[in-house]
Structure 1
Amino acid sequence: MNVRNPFIPIKKADAVIIDGRVEQEITKKLNKMDIQTIRTVKCEEVDEAIAYHPDIAIHPIDANTLVIAPNVFEYYKYIFKNRPIKLIKGDKYLKGNYPNDIAYNVARVSRYAIHNTKYTSPKLKYYLEKQGIRLIHVNQGYTKCSTAIVGSNSIITSDPSIYKACKKYNIDLLYIKSGYIKLPGYDYGFIGGATGVISEKEFLFTGRYDNHPNKKDIDKFLAKNNKKAVILSDKEIIDIGSIIPLKYN
Structure 2
Amino acid sequence: MSLLRHPRLPEGEVTHVLASGEFPWLAEALERRGVTVMATLRDSRLPGPVQFHPDLQTCPLPDKQMFVLKNSPLQPALKALGFSLRETEREPAGTYPGDALCGCFPWGPWLVGNPKAIDRAIAQEAQKQGFQPLPVRQGYSACSVALVDGESAITADRGMFQALRTKGFAVLLIRPGHIALPGYDTGFIGGCCGKLAPDKLAFAGALSSHPDGERMREFLHSRCVAPVELREGPLVDVGGILPLRER
TM-score by length of 2: 0.93
Give 5+ residue unaligned stretches, structure 2: none
Give the corresponding residue for 1:11: 12
1:241, CA displacement in angstroms?
Answer: 0.8
Q: How big is each residue's C-alpha offset from its partner over 1:104-157, in whole Å with a ceiling of 9 and x where there is no partner?
A: 111333221211112211111122222222111111101111100111011100
Match of 1:116 among 114, 117, 120: 114
Secondary structure class of the residue paired with 2:141 = coil
**Identical residues among aligned pairs (%):** 26
Give the Cα separation in 1 of the matches to 2:81 and 2:155.
33
1:65, CA displacement in angstroms?
Answer: 2.7
Secondary structure class of the residue paired with 1:145 = helix
Match of 1:241 among 225, 232, 239: 239
- 1:1-249 equivalence runs, <5 A: 5-24=6-25, 26-62=26-62, 64-72=64-72, 75-247=73-245
Give the Cα separation in 1 of the matches to 2:246 and 2:223.
25
Label 1:99 to 1:81 Cα distance change in 2 as closer, same or farther (>3 A). Answer: closer
1:211, CA displacement in angstroms?
Answer: 2.6
1:160, CA displacement in angstroms?
Answer: 1.2
Give 5+ residue unaligned stretches, structure 1: none
Give the Cα separation in 2 of the matches to 1:184 and 1:149.
23
Give the Cα separation in 2 of the matches to 1:80 and 1:59.
12
Secondary structure class of the residue paired with 1:151 = coil
Give the Cα separation in 2 of the matches to 1:40 and 1:109.
24
1:83, CA displacement in angstroms?
Answer: 2.5
Asked if the contact 1:203–1:227 (Cα under 8 Å) also holds between the matched residues in 2, the reply is yes
Secondary structure class of the residue paired with 2:234 = coil
Label 1:213 to 1:45 Cα distance change in 2 as closer, same or farther (>3 A). Answer: same
Give the Cα separation in 2 of the matches to 1:131 and 1:82.
24
TM-score by length of 1: 0.92
Runs ≥4 residues deviating over 6 A:
none
Give the Cα separation in 2 of the matches to 1:12 and 1:34.
10
Once structures 1 and 2 are overlaid, which stretch shifts more, 9-18 or 82-91?
82-91
1:63, CA displacement in angstroms?
Answer: 7.0
Asked if the contact 1:83–1:248 (Cα under 8 Å) also holds between the matched residues in 2, the reply is no
Structure 1 counterpart of 2:9, which letter? I
Give the Cα separation in 2 of the matches to 1:80 and 1:71.
13
Secondary structure class of the residue paired with 1:55 = helix
Asked if the contact 1:9–1:200 (Cα under 8 Å) also holds between the matched residues in 2, the reply is yes
